[in-house]
A and B are shown apart, each in its own frame.
Chain A
């Protein structure tokens, strides 16, 4: 084991943890100090994340991956639990570097949005920072035990945040549902990880949870051998891929396991919805990609051609349900299900274009949804209702929110010049191209190429998206303002404005200058596609 320690990633991870501990030690009454500490720690994490994002070298990544290596930047690799083959191994590749930035952005703006929380501020901020730390940990983890550790670590503050500060009517139900759904998926995936660990260990003699070692074993074809002597036809990859991919996919909202997500988003307080829909759902997609597709390409080749249908249901069905909602927040909740379907669909294309689009979509959707939920929260805090027909004319009272929401809406429709277009267009192109390898002739994908058909249907889903976004914009922000019902609509605070500006800035920046992120994600995607046989 080579010991390297650059400390940047560990720093990003520990900053919020330290912030949480300091906040816990403060007196209950020192609420302003807690907010400042939370903002400062997430702010430091954001600066470090920007450093990581701009310090990531695409050329180095392509060079190392081109030579058949596994590239991770800013590696921290020290001993942890040696006897089991677990090390504290952090690093970012082309896919996770933007995710770290996304988490930092959502964390920082989340703290700004939550400035007004008065009930048990200490616990709120501490749990929120722990949640952010947990999410950081998953995106940075190279060791799969570390990945799993933080994956689970992110769940429990989530439960608290929803159950204590959430929407009183559904919070108990939604928090429990969310926790149990996610945990079921993740522990099944854990058994899969352990199975891979022993499979690789028995074959190579190196028992390790390190992704680099397992990836080397996967390249050597260890997981393509029968899982158990009893069933010679079923290889390890074929058996465990669906369990691992869908196990993590629960958190990504893959149909039919998406049910926790709208309930959870709606019940959560604003900042938590932002992290939750903006970042947490990407954890599932990311882990499914890292553990599922990257370690078991043979399983991906066999199973993704049918999983793509699930993702199609996500896209279309999510959009249609969003169309039918009266509750403002539920619309956004279901739109997340729909947009996350595009991410999984991008993975299922199994070619460079589509998967790069999926990576961009993860970032773009994360910022966009965070923006949406921030806007919903600002309206709800003032109107105390989210019933779409009874709202109206809020653009006069909250012009900032209206502008931000409309920009977010354009992103979600895939309007050129904004990040949504940059992300969704490659996904559809990738779908049209179909997988980069020749599919198994005995399998559905081998008999006729239905990927183009899926691209057409999914693109139609975008029209539905446009419909529900415009409906909200029309009914909530324009139309007649009911001055009797909403006599006192206060303006949003300066913290809210800063948060909105930061989020909108990234949506526009990525839209006009996609080269900022696309080559980086491509450098992470390329080795995956070459493993898949493209």
Chain B
């Protein structure tokens, strides 16, 4: 297989990572050079830096238009620069940027330059994960993302919950990483290749010994399922989400998950492709049926268990943790559809869904930070009277929750609709009906939060203060949620569809 050696294309392909690395250095430098009072604003540098890079990626980082694999695989096949990578990069950059802005609402973190620098590095990992086309790069990206997040989750060392979150995440994560690494090494050992497109062809055509391939597939899936917190690899999620600084919880639930999903899409299709994609004549082994079944099982148990456990939560961060588990289940429904429907509906639905999910969750967590700061509590019942205190914040939270519940005009409605459509297209009508039942359960607990905000009276009538970085974070995410659900559906969906088509180019 040929790789592009065009130097300019190579630089553009990893431009976001180069810029982010520079940004991390800049943030660290400011941390040293600025006086204490100035350091208060260091989050703006990180936040708007990341958002700016997102804009640059969107405008400048257009992948080679030929759509040929050999043009898009750069740097010795380490990275594939296609629309799929781009849409997921923009997603994680938005998540990181908004995450940095909302970190400024946490007093103990606001002036910590090193915190922002580590955050940027973890976004580098997330960004690379969606472009990785080589086993080495897959693992490097995952570890860059994970190790930095371990640090960030446990950053508040003197806070027991945060320290516990960091350690717990680290222990679970190290275990999952080891499984993935073992799986990857098995794949390498069987084929002698590390580029996922090359070894995908070998896996499909070479008549490899089946049991080790299946074991490798299973082991790799463990690592991915851990990253996206699919049941039964979700045990870390509620505790870590509750204990970690809330802005990191937000990043964990969005950037980290988007990176995992992006990687999952690319990895499964490239390494274990459905036979028809490679031309039926030369293909002899088709493992796609197997991973579709695995993904379907993960999807059903994740959404069902996530939703049912969310019903009984009283802490808002834990509730959102269980809701992200359920959302992993919904998204996996789209992943299950990518093998049988070649039109790209499934992958496009997944990309669209993740995009709106990132914005919705960011919106929700931004409000949660403000709420915790004002009341000192994370209990849902303390949200009482929130809409009287701050009508706009109440409305923003409602919008986020409606989006997560899949009610128009929020973007979540279109996302869910596309996922259902993909599932029906792939012949998984029963899975769509299971998801429908789950959507109802989900709506129930989201509405409970809305009810508490609007119905019950609070002891205080004082408005919740919203400072400038939050205004930005809220405005960006709320506008996204609203516009991508109504008039801007088409541009985003077209982009997602282009991305999906790129995914199916395997030769």
CB of A176 closer than 8 Å to a CB of B: yes
On chain A, the residues within 8 Å of B490 by CB distance are: 79-83
A126 to chain B minimum Cβ distance, whole angstroms, is 10
CB of A179 closer than 8 Å to a CB of B: yes
- B-binding residues in A (CB < 8 A): 24, 28, 79-84, 120, 122-123, 145, 148-150, 152-153, 155-156, 159-160, 163-164, 172, 175-176, 179-180, 183-184, 187-188, 190-191, 194-195, 197-198
Q: Provided the pairs A164-B454, A172-B451, A179-B447 are in contact, do residues A80 and B489 lie with their beta carbons within 8 angstroms?
A: yes
B16 to chain A minimum Cβ distance, whole angstroms, is 26
Closest 4 CB pairs of A and B: A187-B436, A194-B424, A153-B408, A149-B408
A340 to chain B minimum Cβ distance, whole angstroms, is 23
With contacts A152-B408, A164-B455 known, what are 6 further pairs, Cβ within 8 A? A84-B421, A163-B451, A175-B451, A187-B439, A194-B424, A195-B424
CB of B479 closer than 8 Å to a CB of A: no
Choose from A123, A150, A172, A187 the contact partner of B440 (Cβ within 8 Å). A187
Q: Provided the pairs A153-B409, A172-B455 are in contact, do residues A191 and B447 lie with their beta carbons within 8 angstroms?
A: no
- In the complex the two chains form, what is the Cα distance from A194 to B422 in whole Å? 9
On chain A, the residues within 8 Å of B395 by CB distance are: 24
On chain B, the residues within 8 Å of A180 by CB distance are: 440, 443-444
A188:B418 contact, CB within 8 angstroms: no
Choose from B387, B388, B439, B493 the contact partner of A81 (Cβ within 8 Å). B493
B145 to chain A minimum Cβ distance, whole angstroms, is 31
Q: Which residues of B from 446 to 503 have beta carbons under 8 Å from A?
A: 447, 450-451, 454-455, 489-490, 493-494, 497
A424 to chain B minimum Cβ distance, whole angstroms, is 36
22 A-B contacts (beta carbon < 8 Å)? A28-B391, A81-B493, A82-B490, A84-B421, A123-B387, A149-B408, A149-B409, A152-B413, A153-B408, A153-B409, A156-B407, A159-B450, A160-B450, A163-B455, A172-B451, A175-B451, A180-B440, A183-B443, A190-B436, A194-B420, A194-B421, A195-B429
B358 to chain A minimum Cβ distance, whole angstroms, is 20
B433:A191 contact, CB within 8 angstroms: yes
- In the complex the two chains form, what is the Cα distance from A120 to B457 in whole Å? 13
Q: Provided the pairs A83-B497, A84-B493, A159-B447 are in contact, do residues A191 and B454 lie with their beta carbons within 8 angstroms?
A: no
- In the complex the two chains form, what is the Cα distance from A80 to B489 in whole Å? 8
CB of B114 closer than 8 Å to a CB of A: no
Chain B residue with Cβ nearest A79: B490
B451:A179 contact, CB within 8 angstroms: no
A341 to chain B minimum Cβ distance, whole angstroms, is 26
A191:B425 contact, CB within 8 angstroms: no
Q: Provided the pairs A163-B455, A191-B436 are in contact, do residues A155 and B425 lie with their beta carbons within 8 angstroms?
A: no
On chain B, the residues within 8 Å of A152 by CB distance are: 407-408, 413
Choose from A28, A149, A160, A191 the contact partner of B413 (Cβ within 8 Å). A149
- In the complex the two chains form, what is the Cα distance from A80 to B432 in whole Å? 24
Chain B residue with Cβ nearest A171: B455
B440:A198 contact, CB within 8 angstroms: no
On chain A, the residues within 8 Å of B387 by CB distance are: 123
Chain A residue with Cβ nearest B433: A191
Q: Mark B399-412, 1 if CB is under 8 A from A, else 0.
A: 00010000111000
- In the complex the two chains form, what is the Cα distance from A150 to B485 in whole Å? 12
On chain A, the residues within 8 Å of B454 by CB distance are: 160, 163-164
On chain A, the residues within 8 Å of B424 by CB distance are: 191, 194-195, 198
A118 to chain B minimum Cβ distance, whole angstroms, is 14
CB of B235 closer than 8 Å to a CB of A: no
CB of B172 closer than 8 Å to a CB of A: no
A176:B447 contact, CB within 8 angstroms: yes
On chain A, the residues within 8 Å of B432 by CB distance are: 191, 194
Q: Which residues of B from 42 to 94 have beta carbons under 8 Å from A?
A: none
CB of B417 closer than 8 Å to a CB of A: yes
On chain A, the residues within 8 Å of B408 by CB distance are: 149-150, 152-153
On chain A, the residues within 8 Å of B420 by CB distance are: 190-191, 194
Chain B residue with Cβ nearest A17: B409
A287 to chain B minimum Cβ distance, whole angstroms, is 15
On chain A, the residues within 8 Å of B436 by CB distance are: 184, 187-188, 190-191
On chain B, the residues within 8 Å of A24 by CB distance are: 395
A81:B489 contact, CB within 8 angstroms: yes
B440:A184 contact, CB within 8 angstroms: yes
- In the complex the two chains form, what is the Cα distance from A195 to B432 in whole Å? 11
Chain A residue with Cβ nearest B489: A81
Choose from A83, A156, A197 the contact partner of B494 (Cβ within 8 Å). A83
- In the complex the two chains form, what is the Cα distance from A183 to B447 in whole Å? 13
A145:B429 contact, CB within 8 angstroms: no
B498 to chain A minimum Cβ distance, whole angstroms, is 10
B114 to chain A minimum Cβ distance, whole angstroms, is 42
- In the complex the two chains form, what is the Cα distance from A102 to B439 in whole Å? 32
B366 to chain A minimum Cβ distance, whole angstroms, is 20
Q: Provided the pairs A172-B455, A187-B439, A191-B424 are in contact, do residues A84 and B418 lie with their beta carbons within 8 angstroms?
A: yes
- In the complex the two chains form, what is the Cα distance from A150 to B402 in whole Å? 14
Q: Provided the pairs A81-B490, A187-B436 are in contact, do residues A123 and B391 lie with their beta carbons within 8 angstroms?
A: yes
B417:A145 contact, CB within 8 angstroms: yes
Chain A residue with Cβ nearest B443: A183
A180 to chain B minimum Cβ distance, whole angstroms, is 6
B433:A179 contact, CB within 8 angstroms: no
- In the complex the two chains form, what is the Cα distance from A342 to B421 in whole Å? 35
B350 to chain A minimum Cβ distance, whole angstroms, is 15
A156:B402 contact, CB within 8 angstroms: yes
Chain A residue with Cβ nearest B494: A83
On chain B, the residues within 8 Å of A191 by CB distance are: 420, 424, 429, 432-433, 436
- In the complex the two chains form, what is the Cα distance from A190 to B408 in whole Å? 14
On chain B, the residues within 8 Å of A172 by CB distance are: 451, 455
Chain B residue with Cβ nearest A184: B440
On chain A, the residues within 8 Å of B433 by CB distance are: 188, 191
A236 to chain B minimum Cβ distance, whole angstroms, is 12
Choose from A28, A83, A190 the contact partner of B493 (Cβ within 8 Å). A83
On chain A, the residues within 8 Å of B439 by CB distance are: 183, 187
- In the complex the two chains form, what is the Cα distance from A281 to B408 in whole Å? 20
A155 to chain B minimum Cβ distance, whole angstroms, is 7
B253 to chain A minimum Cβ distance, whole angstroms, is 23
Chain B residue with Cβ nearest A122: B391
- In the complex the two chains form, what is the Cα distance from A187 to B421 in whole Å? 12
Chain A residue with Cβ nearest B448: A176
- In the complex the two chains form, what is the Cα distance from A205 to B291 in whole Å? 30
- In the complex the two chains form, what is the Cα distance from A191 to B451 in whole Å? 28
- In the complex the two chains form, what is the Cα distance from A474 to B409 in whole Å? 47
On chain A, the residues within 8 Å of B497 by CB distance are: 83
- In the complex the two chains form, what is the Cα distance from A287 to B443 in whole Å? 22
Chain A residue with Cβ nearest B410: A156
Chain A CB within 10 Å, residue with most, of B409, B417, B433: B417
- In the complex the two chains form, what is the Cα distance from A188 to B418 in whole Å? 15
B349 to chain A minimum Cβ distance, whole angstroms, is 10
A362 to chain B minimum Cβ distance, whole angstroms, is 24
B494:A155 contact, CB within 8 angstroms: no
B462 to chain A minimum Cβ distance, whole angstroms, is 15
- In the complex the two chains form, what is the Cα distance from A513 to B387 in whole Å? 49
A196 to chain B minimum Cβ distance, whole angstroms, is 10
On chain B, the residues within 8 Å of A80 by CB distance are: 489-490
On chain B, the residues within 8 Å of A188 by CB distance are: 433, 436
Chain B residue with Cβ nearest A227: B429
Q: Provided the pairs A80-B489, A153-B408, A156-B407 are in contact, do residues A176 and B413 lie with their beta carbons within 8 angstroms?
A: no
- In the complex the two chains form, what is the Cα distance from A82 to B489 in whole Å? 10
